[in-house]
Amino acid sequence: MPAEPQFPNVIADGDHDEAVRQVERLQLDYVHRIDDGPLATWPDLFTDICLYRVTSRENWEAGHDLGVIRGESIGMLRDRVTATQNAAVYAPRTIRHILSGTLVDRIDQAGIHCRTNVAIYQTSADGDTLLLMAAVYHDIVIEDGGTPKFREKNLVYDTLRLPDSVICPL
């Protein structure tokens, strides 16, 4: 098990504007690794020990920890990619994230706490596009090995009933 990063260096020593710029670049990098690939590099944007969770607002507000997807380490995230690519049966489709700007809530010892709104569309092999979810990322970003990474990423969707399956990490 990889060691947890000691005392995370907060980006630019609490410089708010620089933090926003770095986090927004990270978010863009993140969604394009999913939407355009390669998905195999998606886990690299997380710290070795991390929390990645996709969950409903219903669970989030009830304080229930359940996730549609839950990863607690970079290894678990790589396993998710492997399963998506090799051990799951689903009709082909493309995913497209539409991001808002990022709101930094606070910067503290744990890292940069921030929120980014996102709409995620899915297009089937037949070419039909549907809105899979309206959601928000609640993230904690830290500097790890000189680059910003997600220590925690919670995709919380407002959409009560997912209109389709979630075939890959989002």
Partner 1 sequence: MDQTNTTGAGQRQDRRPAETNSPDDEDVSRIAYRVYQDPAIYAAELDRIFYGPTWNYIGLAAEVPEVGDWRRNMIGEREVLLVRKSEGEFSVLPNVCAHRGAQICQALRGNAETAFMCPYHQWTYDFEGKLIGVPFRRGVKGKGGMPTDFEPSNYDLQALKVAELNGVVFASYHPDPPALDDYLGADMKRMFTRVFDGRKLRIVGKHRQTIDCNWKLQMENLKDPYHAGLLHLFLVTFGLFRLDQKSESFIGVHGGSAALVSRRSPPDEHTGNEEIASYAPDYTLEDPTLLQPVMEYDDDVTLAIQTIFPNIIIQAQSNTLATRHVIPKGVGSHELVWTFFGYEDDDEEMQKRRLRQANLMGPAGYVTLDDAEALEFSQRGVDCAPPEAVATLVLGGRDFESTDHMVTEAPIRGFHRQYRDAMAKDIINAG
Site residues (vs partner 1, CB under 8 A): 54-56, 58-59, 62, 64-70, 72-73, 75-76, 78-80, 82-83, 86-91, 160-167
Shortest Cβ 143–partner 1 spacing (Å): 24
Residue 90, φ and ψ in degrees, nearest 5: -160, 155
Q: Is the peptide bond before 38 cis (omega within 30 degrees of 0)?
A: yes
Residue 77: CB minimum distance to partner 1, A: 9
Least spacing, CB of residue 105 vs partner 1, in Å: 24
Q: Which one, 55 or 154, has the nearer CB to partner 1?
A: 55
β-bridge mates for residue 116, sequence order: 102, 137
Return the H-helix or E-strand segment holding 17: helix 16-35
Longest dimension (CA), the chain: 49
Choose between 9 and 90: whose C-beta lies nearer to partner 1: 90
